[in-house]
Amino acid sequence: MSNVLELQESDVHHGHEAHHEHHHHETFITKYVFSQDHKMIAKQFLITGMIWAIIGGLFSVLFRLQLGYPESTFPWLEDLLGHWAKGGKILPEFYYALVTMHGTILVFFVLTAGLSGTFANFLIPLQIGARDMASPLLNMLSYWFFFLASIIMFSSLFVQTGPASGGWTIYPPLSALGDASSGSKIGMDLWLTSMAMFIVSSLLGGLNYISTILNLRTKGMSMTRMPLTIWALFFTAVLGVLSFPVLLSGAILLLFDRNLGTSFFLSDIYVNGKILPNEGGSAILFQHLFWFLGHPEVYIILLPAMGMSSEIISVNSRKPIFGYMAMVGSLFAIAILAFLVWAHHMFVTGLNPFLGSFFVLLTLLIAVPSAIKVFNWLTTLWRANIRFTPGMLFAIGFVSLFISGGLTGIFLGNSALDIHLHDTYFVVAHFHIVMGVASFFGMFAGVYHWFPKMYGRYLNNTLAYIHFWITIIGAYLIFWPMHYEGLAGMPRRYYDFSGWESFKMFGGLNEFISVVAMIVFAAQLLFVLNFFHSIFKGRKVTTANPWGANTLEWTTPIRPGHGNWVGEIPEVYRGAYDYGKDGREFIPQTEPVGENESHH
Amino acid sequence: MSTAAVQQGTKWWSGGRSPFNASYGKVMMWYFLMSDAFTFGAFLISYGTIRFSQNHWVDPNHVFNSFPFAGHTNLPLAFVSLMTFILIASSVTMVLAVHEGHKMNKAGVEKYMLWTILGGLCFLGCQAWEWTHLLTGQHEVLVNGQLEYWNTTVAHNPFGPEVMFNGKEVATPGPIAFGSYFFEITGFHGFHVFSGIIINIIMYLKTKMSHFEQRGHYEMIEKAGLYWHFVDLVWVFVFLCFYLI
Amino acid sequence: MSASFSSQEITFHPEHEDSTKPIWRTFWILSILTVIELSIGLVIYNIHKGENPNATLVLAFKGMVCILTLAKAYYIVSVFMHLGSEVRNLIMTIVVPLCLFVWFIAAFLWDGNSWKNLRNRYNRINETPTEQVAPAAKEKGAKD
């Protein structure tokens, strides 16, 4: 431990004095609200994301209540929700609103902004050796645009006709015609406006992440010495910058169809026996535009989790990550393929089957880099001296979930099988495991691992272990049975299955899933409690490098000020994964390469 | 060449420097333009997709065949050529402004920025005229067996396939998507021109107030220039998609 | 803070040419390309006016216009936006991602064309008496 900088909290003030450009009188507003410090912005993203996660999770509890107990009434629901739950039973319109908002919130506000917003902001400058993001101002604006988007989306929950309820994919014509359903009215406009703000936020953030990683690496931090977290966040940012604008285009066209009488997505529509004047548009075109974003979006959610798990697994295995270049290469391959496979979400829309076969091929190709990654994680863990910290457990959990969810992706990527499985609970199970829960595990792993750096305190380990075991067992108990329901043809997004003879046998299973879902949701509250309690009351971190990790963020003071390093930014001499080399447990990146040092 | 030698010998990716020899601001501007290219790309590709899905499409030479003050003379493509040349010319003056900026010639930058702003305003004026012309120009069209007079809007246009009616050729209603896409994409491009003009005005004022002279470089002009050229670049493709093919 | 960063980022300052010759040369190239495009446009116009428009010929001319447009784009990006004289790394990071447009365009237009075929085959509702279409319209239908 001799090479660890033993810096105490008092050094933070040194940090300020050493950098006069940051040293100005900080008020509460400039320090906690309109802060331009990347670490504070990261915390803002994280906490906003957590609030959204609670709301989105609560929505899933409510609609699971309906699915688990379709014939019961709960009088307290009417007290809670008013006319949306008349007589203690959730109305179908409200059920669709809940499902829609659950998807929107979790996909965009939690797992995009909350995940990469938090960790890209927090880790990029710290791990590449920069004082801050390239443009701290745009970085701050990125958060506030996200905040604006959040406010608009949140307010849409309270309008008279309810929030958007056409599914998180907002397919027209349901979303394009105001008269189509109650959720297609003002709620839909608010959804689109909020999403436009969200895209601006993600663009400002993404441009910052890319130019920071490219331009502001410290001396010696060549691209191939960067931690895998940074590589993953880099590809995530590239995906966001190139794919979100396509959703923006789709959203603008949809807003025009809704409000200006254009016919981009509308054609041959009969309402009450009368044909609408719209002609020549195509609803499928919107699906193409949406999924051109939508598929990269899946990887925008997944890649940061992959990167953080790689880093955490290597640190806590005390072994170098197996196949660093293969890990980078497979991230790159996944990022490229992400742009080429969007129409595999649309096999049953009447897509030209010959065109579809190309999409099948490209989709199945993703299995190759994914398998490389899984292989490398497992080989890193193989015969390692594993430290089961909470962060490590969640990272291993991520690998497990990625394998389980990824395998079903190979089923769904085949257009012939997809005809049977499309829009069933099989799909729900697949994407919840592989992108929903797995990314959440990556996020939890990241929070547990970097919490000491964020707040200078530890999270409570006992609560963390309880949280982990309930969540991983619960996740499998919730989503594993859904595969069987889906194979039996049970469609997703239905309000009530009790009317179908063939799905009646799943009544008990649905009830079971609902109960487990509620337990898992409650376990997440444990995490929230642990998080906020530990910020103020957690055990204090006393050494600068509590995990014995190689990366640069642990060479900063325990609670770094704005500017991160006291004095000069350290230079980097080696890759991030020199663990267990030459009989030493770890060799930080800042240590020059010795003369007799062996090469891996 | 000394610069080539520097390029050869430098370890661009080893950290501590920009691998592009460019400030982060310029890198960000480039990637922003990439992102914007995907926005416009998505619009134009959607337009192409819808056009490919139609049996009949509007012949641009029929729609865009008039010129201000030329009455009903048939002048296909004339006016849009003028607009294209205005935008190319304003692009040239923008490069010249950047060029003067490299030479730290404040007066030169000011002069060419003004020309660029003027070019942008002329282009917007032309577009306003063209929109007005389309929105107010009435054309004979056969609707449900009766002759009507229609203008071109986002919801309808009178440039459909021609049929024989009472011994003469008359047009039927054309594909709705034509007007929708035309107004939407040229509008979005016009919005970019408009914001480009605003940026250029700000840059002009900052030059006038010697902000860049004090800073020691005119990189902001360069970045504004990138944006302006991008607007020109998009127009090249809008010109191709709506007027030429 | 940013100022100190940017001084570190830049490795060398390229020498800028004094003459504005390349700029004007590009201006003339762009103008001439545009004039050629316009004349092709007018040729297409005249083919359409004729008795029996040759679909292949029109398609060939349209292809030519597309290539000319790409040439114009190249000159704008390379000379006006100075990309041609930037470091190779920057050129590659701009040009390579743009290759995504190839599949983006191909797949979208392919599916659009497929919708037309599906509509023409199955949509009996919209069979309105527009059979005697003008030659221009017929050509369109055949080409697209």
pLDDT at A24 over 60: no
Tell whether omega for the bond before A173 is within 30 degrees of 0, i.e. cis: yes
Of residues C121 and A393, more confidently modeled:
A393
CB A569 within 8 A of CB A552: no
Residue A107's alpha-carbon distances to A168, A297, A408, B198, in angstroms, are 9, 8, 20, 36
**Six token digits for residue C48:** 């359409």
Query: What is the least distance, in Å, from the CA of C27 to any CA of chain B?
Result: 7
Tens of pLDDT, residues A288-303: 999 999 999 999 999 9
pLDDT at C49 over 90: no
Of A539, A50, A575, nearest in space to A311 by CA: A575
**Region A112-118: what's the mean pLDDT?**
95
**Which of C1, C5, C108 is opposite residue A22, by nearest beta carbon?**
C1
Q: Dihedral of the CA atoms A407, A411, A415, A420 (nearest 10)?
A: -140
Query: What is the least distance, in Å, from the CA of A128 to any CA of chain C?
Result: 14
CB contact under 8 A, A355 and C100: no
Query: What is the least distance, in Å, from the CA of C57 to any CA of chain A?
Result: 28
Tens of pLDDT, residues A519-571: 999 999 999 999 999 999 999 999 999 999 999 999 999 999 888 999 899 99
What's CA A117's distance to the chain center, in Å? 9
Lowest mean pLDDT among A125-129, A374-378, C10-14: C10-14
Q: Domain A11-586 class?
A: mainly alpha
Tell whether B11 is within 8 A of chain A (Cβ). yes
Scored b (16 or more CB within 10 A) or e, A72-108 reads eebeebbeebeebbeeebbbebbbbbbbbbbbbbbbb
CB contact under 8 A, C104 and A21: no
The pLDDT value given to residue A103: 96
- The chains in contact with chain A, meaning 3 or more Cβ pairs closer than 8 Å, are B, C
Tell whether B175 is within 8 A of chain A (Cβ). yes
CB contact under 8 A, C9 and A215: yes
Tens of pLDDT, residues A165-177: 989 999 998 999 9
Enumerate the residues of chain B whose CB falls inside 8 A of the CB of residue C15: 2-3
Of A434, A544, A503, A521, nearest in space to A56 by CA: A521
The pLDDT value given to residue B6: 61
- Eight-class DSSP state of B165: E
Tens of pLDDT, residues B92-130: 999 999 999 999 999 999 999 999 999 999 999 999 999
CB contact under 8 A, C72 and B236: yes
Collapsing DSSP to helix, strand or coil, A90 comes out as coil
Predicted confidence band at A412 (pLDDT cuts at 50, 70, 90)?
very high
Tell whether A242 is within 8 A of chain C (Cβ). yes
Collapsing DSSP to helix, strand or coil, A327 comes out as helix
Tens of pLDDT, residues A130-143: 999 999 999 999 99
Rounded CA-CA distance A161/A169 in Å is 19
Tens of pLDDT, residues B15-55: 888 898 888 999 999 999 999 999 999 999 999 999 999 98
Tens of pLDDT, residues B191-236: 999 999 999 999 999 999 999 999 888 999 999 999 999 999 999 9
pLDDT at C137 over 50: no
Tell whether B27 is within 8 A of chain A (Cβ). yes
Write down the domain spans for chain A.
11-586
Enumerate the residues of chain B whose CB falls inside 8 A of the CB of residue C80: 91-92, 94-95, 225, 229, 232
CB contact under 8 A, A132 and C9: no
Enumerate the residues of chain A whose CB falls inside 8 A of the CB of residue C107: 288, 343, 355, 358-359
CB contact under 8 A, B53 and C45: no
Judging by DSSP bridges, how do beta strands A270-271 and A274-275 pair with one another? antiparallel
The pLDDT value given to residue C122: 82
Tell whether A203 is within 8 A of chain B (Cβ). yes
pLDDT at A20 over 80: no
**Six token digits for residue A3:** 């090479």
**Six token digits for residue A198:** 């969200």
Tell whether C109 is within 8 A of chain A (Cβ). no
For an interface test with C, the pick among B31, B84, B88, B102 (most C C-beta atoms closer than 10 Å) comes out as B88
Of A314, A316, A318, A315, nearest in space to A327 by CA: A314
Rounded CA-CA distance A394/A377 in Å is 13
**Region A77-104: what's the mean pLDDT?**
91
Enumerate the residues of chain C whose CB falls inside 8 A of the CB of residue A292: 104
Collapsing DSSP to helix, strand or coil, A544 comes out as coil
Predicted confidence band at A82 (pLDDT cuts at 50, 70, 90)?
confident
Enumerate the residues of chain A whose CB falls inside 8 A of the CB of residue B227: none
The pLDDT value given to residue A273: 82
CB contact under 8 A, A249 and B181: no
Query: What is the least distance, in Å, from the CA of B19 to any CA of chain C?
Result: 7
**Region A390-398: what's the mean pLDDT?**
97
pLDDT at C2 over 70: no
CB contact under 8 A, C134 and B12: no
Prediction ipTM score: 0.93
User: How many degrees, rounded to 5, is the angle at CA C93 between CA C88 and CA C95?
Assistant: 90
pLDDT at A347 over 90: yes
The pLDDT value given to residue A5: 36
The pLDDT value given to residue A572: 94
**Region C84-98: what's the mean pLDDT?**
90
**Region A321-335: what's the mean pLDDT?**
96
Of residues A26 and A151, more confidently modeled:
A151
Tell whether A400 is within 8 A of chain C (Cβ). no
pLDDT at C6 over 70: no
CB contact under 8 A, C76 and B229: yes
Enumerate the residues of chain C whose CB falls inside 8 A of the CB of residue B174: none
Write down the domain spans for chain B.
60-135+187-244
Rounded CA-CA distance A64/A90 in Å is 11
Q: Which residue shows structure tokens 């495009």?
A: C37
How many Cβ contacts (< 8 angstroms) between chains A and B? 134
Query: What is the least distance, in Å, from the CA of C116 to any CA of chain B?
Result: 4
Enumerate residues 94 to 113 of chain A having a beta carbon within 8 A of any beta carbon in chain C: none
**Region A21-33: what's the mean pLDDT?**
71
Superfamily of domain B60-135+187-244, CATH level 4: Cytochrome c oxidase, subunit III, four-helix bundle (1.20.120.80)
The pLDDT value given to residue C126: 54
**Which of A22, A135, A352 is opposite residue C114, by nearest beta carbon?**
A352
Rounded CA-CA distance A317/A580 in Å is 10
**Six token digits for residue A277:** 């004047």
Lowest mean pLDDT among A89-103, A339-353, B4-18, B194-208: B4-18
pLDDT at A11 over 60: no
Enumerate the residues of chain B whose CB falls inside 8 A of the CB of residue C11: 6, 10, 17-18, 21
User: Residue C81 is which amino acid?
Assistant: M
Rounded CA-CA distance A485/C38 in Å is 61
CB contact under 8 A, C103 and A339: yes
Residue C129's alpha-carbon distances to B157, B161, B176, C136, in angstroms, are 19, 11, 19, 17
CB A112 within 8 A of CB A105: no
CB contact under 8 A, B162 and C86: no
pLDDT at C138 over 60: no
Rounded CA-CA distance A371/A377 in Å is 10
pLDDT at C27 over 60: yes
The pLDDT value given to residue A6: 36
- Eight-class DSSP state of A217: P
Tell whether A292 is within 8 A of chain C (Cβ). yes
**Which of B14, B53, B156 is opposite residue A282, by nearest beta carbon?**
B53
Which neighbouring-strand residues pair with A274? A271
CB A49 within 8 A of CB A113: yes
Q: Dihedral of the CA atoms A376, A377, A383, A387 (nearest 10)?
A: 150
The pLDDT value given to residue A258: 92
Neighbour-count burial of B166, counting CB atoms closer than 10 A to its CB (0-12 exposed, 13-18 middle, 19+ buried): exposed
Tell whether C111 is within 8 A of chain A (Cβ). yes
- Mean pLDDT (chain B) is 90
- The chains in contact with chain B, meaning 3 or more Cβ pairs closer than 8 Å, are A, C
Tens of pLDDT, residues B162-177: 888 888 888 888 888 8
Residue of A nearest to C104 (CA): A340
Residue A325's alpha-carbon distances to A45, A109, A223, A227, A317, in angstroms, are 31, 32, 11, 11, 19
Neighbour-count burial of C96, counting CB atoms closer than 10 A to its CB (0-12 exposed, 13-18 middle, 19+ buried): exposed
CB contact under 8 A, B232 and C76: yes
Rounded CA-CA distance A483/A408 in Å is 9
Enumerate the residues of chain B whose CB falls inside 8 A of the CB of residue A249: 39, 42-43, 46
Tens of pLDDT, residues A413-432: 999 999 999 999 999 999 99
CB C63 within 8 A of CB C37: no
The pLDDT value given to residue C140: 41
- Mean pLDDT (chain A) is 91
Q: Which residues 6+ apart lie within 8 Å of A134 measured at CB?
A: A208, A211, A212, A215, A216, B24, B25, B27, B28, C2, C5
